[in-house]
Structure 1
């Protein structure tokens, strides 16, 4: 399919036409990428016309393709894992201008850089622009001067703060800001966004894909995936700095030394990410002779199969806007042990539908891992409650419907009052 074959003009009175602008999209694997893919599919299923504008991260990806009922357009440059979003600003803005008759609204997922292109296009073509933060620190500027481990870099803050202030003056002209969690809303408010211009819509998950597995199928599934007949602990997500994995492996070394019956699965990769710590994790595993108790899966498209095969999910991240991987584990009725951090606490209540542990308390993590072995009935109760939580509040169908409710409010003939997600 060529890009020219996708050109369409004219207005649609009944179908909302959405252009989703994002720096990274499927087949790149990560929480944000999975969510954007599922959301586009569901928006299309619910009657919207969706156009995805993203970066062509590698040259083997097609410039234009049809996918699950919507169209994906990829712009250059390829490569440049750290600077790619900056370098795609001009091509993205040009494409937004060129295709201005093909969409009614611009939805930017990841506002730190591409928010500029979205708002400039809003000004140039007169279409509403919605900005969504994918992670904490995007609007405040902390993504520049705060490390994934939480350390502030004063020199970077002093230099970039004025530039962030200038950027934010433009971003504040966006029609609406979309918050996926309490810490993101608080960041928006602290930056000066009016509460009337904030819509609160948490991430959703695919209920058809992520659902409880049959216990009787677990042995065969483990054999198919090459997993041992052990007590399986699993993490799913990017193998990046800021996910707490370096610290967690230190805990795992102590835990596995006293529990030879356990095994850890790291589902995901850091390949192509400038924050990747995958190689460092591999090195730690080899140097500490942990190969027998840890499996690296790399990028996989069947995360749900690994969740169905596992006994318990761990998520030691140091900072999250929400944490889609936690939702997916809860949806599969897998008990969860996660960091006690904003974003996760919007989904998990300690002792009610999961366990929360202080991020840097290695002894507390060690105890929580051991508690699963010692208190299986307690964790089964938590898993049941976690499953009920996500079914009631986080389905992708409900998330998509909330998006559409907000988007329709922003259309020129209907824009009035505060943003409502429900």
Structure 2
């Protein structure tokens, strides 16, 4: 639905329209940040705020997951490299929409804060959801300078992990009162433990009767380091007596590293023991076929994939980076290992394979933790509180 400036002008005596929020992102592709944005819009009270998603690039496979009617998705068609024209197009979109609030996310959309200020958008929020492979510690001098220069334009920051919250305050110089940590939420009704034997997945004959399935879900990009998981899988096959007969590997997702991972499996003679089908729409069902969930990322914000696995009742083996430390409780709901280290990763997975009942105990606790602390409604309420606080009229000083 196309929005015109006139849509924001109420007739005399007519109810005033709800405030409009523009969510500016790089693209609405498959990813944790994008999934979190869709979940947020779907679970916010529709009468409180209206929403428009503005994408810098034209890629929106997640658009079909929007359940709320009337949410416009606009693309300014940024070309690869430095496209000066997209700044003008974005400015024109913001002037036309005349939103009450803009919410940018991550470095790719940060420059939109300057254009929003120039377009007269009074309320401005920026969210940090994770770092890129080229700047794992957030110390790139050029990017730090950009964030510090634009910091005064931002009314409030949202960090999805405690690590990012501390970095915004300590490195970027944001005032603590202007930074809020809001973790992601998960749909615990859609993602739930399996009842009975696992569903048949993979090619015919992939799963044997007593298969132990090591699984991972996520974008297959270098920062996710799925090659380390494949190396750990090879170590397990070599070390475990029943490795070749029972161990199976399932990696769900697509991206530039999928083909190299398939080549690595073929070269090691493990192709028949692994299934890498690419992106899928039946992730909840596939998670219920796993016995342990593994996230070998080199950097992470607040992982939706970990939360979905926990909601499914799976123990989680993850690298001790970023928001993973907030989600995984070692020796209680899962195990944390160093990044880029296949040997400790293999050892952690082996514990769940060798020790009877350990996966069920850790997975059950993980499910209970999700139910108590990581609901979608709690996440939406936390964002709503930030939006409301920023939108509230200033309290006049007493004389």
- State the TM-score, normalized to the length of structure 1: 0.82
How many Å apart are 1:331 and its aligned residue?
0.7
Q: Deviations over 1:394-416 (max 9, x none)?
A: 11111001111110110151579
Partner residue of 1:77?
77
Q: 1:200 aligns with which of 181, 199, 204?
A: 181
Q: Secondary structure at the match of 1:309?
A: coil
Unaligned residue ranges in structure 2 (runs of 5+): none
**What's the offset of the Cα at 1:356?**
1.3
Residue matched to 1:33: 34
Q: How does 1:17-166 map to 2 (within 5 A)?
A: 17-25=20-28, 28-43=29-44, 45=46, 47-58=48-59, 68-77=68-77, 80=80, 83=81, 88-100=86-98, 103-110=99-106, 112-136=107-131, 143=132, 146=135, 161=141, 164-166=144-146
- 1:390, CA displacement in angstroms? 1.4
Q: 1:364 to 1:404 in 2, by over 3 A?
A: same
Task: Find runs of 4+ consecutive structure 1 residues off by over 6 angstroms.
Answer: 60-66, 84-87, 223-226
CA deviation profile, 1:199-253 (whole Å, cap 9, x unmatched): 111111223322223234x24x437998523211110111111212122211211
- Determine whether 1:228 maps to 2:207: yes
Check conservation: 1:64, 1:73, Cα contact below 8 A.
no
Query: Do the aligned residues in 2 keep the contact of 1:54 with 1:72 (CA within 8 Å)?
Result: no
Cα distance change of structure 1 residues 234 and 252 upon mapping to structure 2, 3 Å threshold = same
Count residues in correspondence: 385
Aligned residues of 1:409 and 1:415 also touching (Cα < 8 A)? no
Residues 226/334 of structure 1: CA separation in 2 closer, same or farther (3 Å cut):
farther
Question: What do the CA deviations read for 1:139-170 (whole angstroms, capped 9, x no partner)?
Answer: xxxx4853x6x799xxxx5xxx3574255312
Distance 2:149 2:251 in 1: 41
**Equivalent pair of 1:86/1:113 in contact (CA under 8 Å):** no
Per-residue deviation, 1:115: 1.8
- Tell me if the contact between 1:313 and 1:337 (Cα under 8 Å) persists in the aligned partners: yes
Worse-superposed segment, 163-172 or 189-198: 163-172
Cα 1:375–1:90 shift into 2, 3 Å: farther
- Superposed displacement of residue 67, structure 1: 5.3
Greater shift in the superposed pair: 203-212 or 224-233: 224-233
Contact 1:64 1:74 in 2 (8 A): no
Task: Map residues 1-400 of structure 1 onto 2, 5 A cutoff.
Answer: 1=1, 3=2, 8-10=7-9, 13=16, 15-25=18-28, 28-43=29-44, 45=46, 47-58=48-59, 68-77=68-77, 80=80, 83=81, 88-100=86-98, 103-110=99-106, 112-136=107-131, 143=132, 146=135, 161=141, 164-189=144-169, 190-216=171-197, 218-219=198-199, 221-222=200-201, 228-229=207-208, 230-257=211-238, 258=240, 259-260=243-244, 261-270=246-255, 276-400=256-380
TM-score scaled by length of structure 2: 0.86
CA–CA distance in structure 1, aligned partners of residues 65 and 184 of structure 2: 25
In the alignment, the residues of structure 2 paired with residue 151 and residue 196 of structure 1 have an alpha-carbon distance, to the nearest angstrom, of 21
The Cα offsets for residues 309-366 of structure 1, whole Å up to 9 and x where unpaired, read as 1111111111111211101100111111111223101111100111112223332222
User: What SS does structure 2 have at the residue aligned with 1:242?
Assistant: helix
Question: Which stretches in structure 1 are left out of the alignment for 5+ residues?
Answer: 137-142, 271-275, 417-422
Change (3 A) 1:252 1:63: closer
